[in-house]
Structure 1
């Protein structure tokens, strides 16, 4: 009897989607995207970069570190440019009116979303950080910054665009949701109920 042949998943995905991205404080970009194979591969790479960074994680008011978020966005900026260079013109073909491509979406996010945020806030935060007294906790010092709330609001707005981009890339790459993953459950000890207590004693007649 011959060995069982392993099935390989064929690359694929939707032939066409409607892409729409909100640009903070500017408007939105939308259009029809008919992705080529190179765009699907690039979409997976960029999607993976997004879901493994602070870029798409929500910063709660009393949690998170603004410097870490800015650094993550800065690295994502450079990584996106590397992906565009690696795949070349195939991910930015000439388009009919009302259509978009991987290149159009990626460059729009770089130039209209990330660049303005980083250009304005990176030097301002760096200047404030340079004045931190020796021995002062950097997180506490950052939260005392008078502009911390404003920067946090802008990062939140940018995050919404990046999550929207990630959802679009997920659809084109035809992969599962890696953003809203279920939280792992704590292991249960034998003899305990789901809430961690002792399981109730079964009554007579049950």
Structure 2
């Protein structure tokens, strides 16, 4: 609730700033028009035409710079190599996704019995919600033949990695916590299996984070992301870990 309030406050503050800026620009424009009306009609037409021409050129250049699409190729093991078409808006979305992904507990490896699975699951729920809100707030990217969008990468990460994991393991851990409120997490029978699957998901999210960084224009993102090794083959995914239960998981909220 607090984060939503802060986001709303920031959004309101940005709107107020834009209104104030627009009012100031409008006032200056009105003053300029008034000043021009004090000169002869011939000079008025010349000056007005020159101003309109200059403003038009600047507006066109600004629009082209904002809307210009750049082709970026990203290689993600789960998706192979994909070609993306990004502009300034989509780079901002990719940057937000990258920051949200690499600064959470959900992407930090839990070695052996260290760390708390509950914290990682809660962090992943937060990542899912924040990523969804980021995508909802952004304008959809224009589709380009032969190219993918930033939304595709983010939504694929949510639906292919986060949603199935949370749908399977969050209810199990919650059931154990309710049935054994005083027991340590290490007493949970599924603790080892959950940690192995968590490591697999963290490894996958690492690859998505690197992809988002490249779309955002980060030249060398690897040093910024803590690498999570892939689980050993013996730790493989448990049955039922690939599809979410009906009516459960973060997407059902």
The CA distance in 2 between the partners of 1:41 and 1:57, in whole Å, is 24
TM-score, length-scaled by structure 1: 0.69
TM-score, length-scaled by structure 2: 0.57
Q: Counterparts in 2 of 1:29-178, with a 5 A limit?
A: 30-90=81-141, 93-97=142-146, 99-134=147-182, 136=183, 141-175=184-218, 177=221, 178=224
The CA distance in 1 between the partners of 2:94 and 2:181, in whole Å, is 44
SS in 2 for 1:160: helix
The CA distance in 2 between the partners of 1:180 and 1:94, in whole Å, is 33
- Deviation of 1:61 (Å): 1.1
RMSD of equivalent CA atoms? 2.4
Any gaps of 5 or more consecutive residues in structure 2? 1-65, 228-253
- Deviation of 1:29 (Å): 5.2
SS in 2 for 1:94: coil
Alpha carbons of 1:180 and 1:125: their partners in 2 closer, same or farther (altered >3 Å)? closer
The CA distance in 2 between the partners of 1:64 and 1:22, in whole Å, is 27
The CA distance in 1 between the partners of 2:203 and 2:187, in whole Å, is 25
Which is helix-richer, 1 or 2? 2
Any gaps of 5 or more consecutive residues in structure 1? 1-10, 182-206
The count of aligned residue pairs is 158
Q: Which of the pair has more CA radius of gyration? A: 2
Q: Structure 1 residue aligned with 2:76, among 14, 17, 21?
A: 21
